[in-house]
Chains A and B, each alone.
Chain A
Amino acid sequence: MKALAAHRRHPLMALALLLIALGVVGGAYGVVTTQPTAADTVMVGDQTQIEEGRRLYLEGCSSCHGLNAEGTSAGPTLIGVGAAAVHFQVATGRMPLAAPGAQAPVKKPDYTAEETLAMAAYIASLAPGPAIPTAEQVDYTNADVAEGGILFRINCAQCHQAAGQGGALTQGKYAPSLMNSTPTQIYEAMLTGPQNMPIFSDQTLPTEDKQAIIAYVMELQQAPSPGGMSLGRLGPVVEGLFLWTAVLAAFLAAAVWIGIRAR
């Protein structure tokens, strides 16, 4: 506080404040929006790919999931989880785990897209399971966003929060934010139930409904916050907390500054 009080008399201080204010206004034109990347789905299946996948599996996954994907005390069986589960877990970097813990966090993927598909093909060859959704399945261009919103609030919002920002579960587990998820990943997650997420099968939540949900999430990802700082879109509780902590702290600091004796 003393240091601040000492510096504020500096003639450059006023100039700096002006520059900051002008920079904020000027930055108003630097609009940057990112478009979601198209689904990167490829067909899985031929024998050399399966062989390659098996090699990669034995190298990177078998220590926890077993030499024949039968599962060990360290990891569940992968027989019957399907290519979609492998693609979701490996392409988002959740697997292989960096360290055992309550949650498998998203990180930079360890494998290339090709290697991921090879492993998916190998696991899919063990037993039938959900396949990686096709580009057609995750195409949400004609989906009903409003319907997707209704379905999202019924089926997803309880864990991922109404605006897809994610939320806490029990004992250190959490439902991740969906703000960086691709349509394929969202579809795969609903289909396979990664970690503690329940499965939303194509029978109870058909493809059109999943597309509607994807359309809603994509809408959320691009939605601006016309009112200012969104604060994670967590609603009035967060706004209140922000006011009572950050803003009040700023006011207290200002009050202290007013009370400091001038030199």
Chain B
Amino acid sequence: MSDLTTRGSDNSGDKPLPEKPHGILARPEYEGPGALTVADVEHRPRRSDLDPKAARRVERQITLMFLLSMVMVVLFVIAYVSLNSTQTVYIPVLGLIGAQNVALGVTFGAAIFFIGAGAIQWAKKLMPDVEVVQDRHRLASTPDQDAAAAAQYERGKEESGFAAYRILRRTLIGALALFPIPLVVLVRDMWTNTDPALEGLSPAEILSETAWTDGLPIVVDGTYQPIRPEDIPVGGLVSALPENIREIQKEFHNLNERGKSAIILVRMDPGEIRSQQGDGWDYQGILAFSKICTHVGCPIALYEHRTHHLLCPCHQSTFDLADSGNVIFGPAARRMPQLPIGVNEEGFLVARSDFQEPVGPSFWERG
């Protein structure tokens, strides 16, 4: 027993051991089956091993932690009963947050923390920490075990008849080979449109067509009011939709068309427009571009009216609206499609045709 604790002290010999061992050291050393050999390394005894006072102090600490855990559980119940779930509290850094939520979280978290901290203290300070050696068993199986496994496999093959019934084996393989086909069909089916008017069209064709047609008025998204050119000042931005968007949504019970035909209108000094996707597609400096990023289809309207950059918040693709909506930064592979616009007899902004290239994210046929 003293053999264990003096191992390190023999060499250093600085501190004499207390005469009477305490704590775990007072117990007889465990022997018999399962006992581990003490490692042949220098062992440094802990303060609590040497000094009974230190051991008592650790004991008190751990007791206090377990008691604190109990206190926290009591506080948890009190908080649960007394605090209203709608009460809020201002806590610096965290801000205005639910009072009950904080109280319950802190007390419950502290309760389990003190149990854990006490257990760790106990293990570190009072339980034996003598270095021992535990030999690892051999990883490879023995030849006998190998032979048994092989024999078992052979017997299984024999008894199941997998080798004998050739027709069963082959049809099973065939059935498993065909099984994934429905999954492929379902994936192919994902783009199929339920609209009879679009039947037989490929995804490329469906995505190439939006609700915009020649003469269709442009309305403000949210208020659905038609727009006059003079309503948009230089530097202005308007999120817009085709006039008939709400009827379309009502008819199909989905937002697909909104996802395709959403546009933004921006107005810049005509002198600042360096190029457009078509001759005269603007109206007095008002340009209409798709609102859907050509990368993976996030709606974008982060328009900087001094640089004319349109930034996608998802992956930072940046388009230069003063230069045909070309990509100047980021992962987008295609420019932002532009919509040719004009005004009708009543002086409202209208589309002059559909988009001339598919809107939305790039896909296989489009590249």
Contacts and interface: CB of A to CB of B under 8 A. Distances in A.
Contact of A199 (B97, B101, B305): B305
26 contacts: A9-B58, A18-B71, A24-B91, A24-B103, A27-B89, A27-B91, A150-B222, A154-B222, A154-B239, A155-B221, A169-B304, A170-B304, A173-B304, A193-B236, A197-B305, A198-B235, A200-B236, A201-B233, A201-B236, A204-B227, A224-B96, A225-B94, A226-B97, A258-B120, A262-B125, A263-B46
Interface centre among B86, B87, B129 (most CB of A within 10 A): B87
A198 B96 CA distance: 32
Interface stretch (B15-23, B105-113, B249-257): B105-113
B65 A14 contact: yes
Given A14-B65, A158-B313, A203 B305 contact: no
Nearest to B124: A262
Interface in A197-229: 197-201, 203-206, 209, 222-229
Grouping DSSP codes into helix (H, G, I), strand (E, B) and loop, the B interface class, with mixed when no group exceeds half, is mixed
A198 B236 contact: yes
Given A31-B87, A199-B235, 9 more contacts: A21-B110, A28-B99, A170-B311, A195-B306, A199-B236, A203-B232, A204-B231, A228-B97, A230-B97
Contacts of A204: 220, 225, 227, 231-232, 236, 238
Interface of A: 9, 11, 14, 17-18, 21-22, 24-25, 27-33, 150-151, 154-155, 158-159, 167, 169-170, 173, 175, 193, 195-201, 203-206, 209, 222-230, 257-258, 261-263
Q: What is the size category of the interface that chain B forms with chain A? A: 35 or more
Contact of A224 (B88, B227, B300, B306): B88
Interface of B: 44, 46-48, 57-58, 61, 64-65, 68, 71-72, 75, 79, 83, 85-91, 94-103, 105-107, 110, 120, 124-125, 129, 220-223, 225, 227-228, 230-233, 235-239, 266, 299-307, 309, 311, 313, 316, 318, 329
Contacts of B221: 154-155
